[in-house]
Amino acid sequence: MDLTGLSPREIERLARNVHPGAWLIDSEKPLATLLGSCVCVCLHDPQLKRGGINHFLLPDISRSRDGEVDALLSGNFAMEALLNGLLTRGAKKARLQAKAFGGGTIIEVGNTLNIGQRNASFAKEWLSRENIPLLSSDLLGPWSRKIVFIPCSGDAFCKRQVTSMANAEVIAREERAYAETLKRKPPASEKRIELF
CA 154 distance to own-chain centroid: 15
Task: Give the per-residue pLDDT at 126.
Answer: 96
CA gap 75, 81 in Å, rounded: 10
74-83 pLDDT tens trace: 888 899 999 9
The whole-model pTM stands at: 0.78
Closest CA to 34 of 154, 168, 180: 168
Helices (H), 6-74: 8-14
135-181 pLDDT tens trace: 999 999 988 899 999 999 999 999 998 766 666 666 667 666 766 66
* Contact present, 41 and 100 (Cβ < 8 Å): yes
Q: Please give the single-letter amino acid code of residue 30.
A: P
**Does residue 7 surpass a pLDDT of 70?**
yes
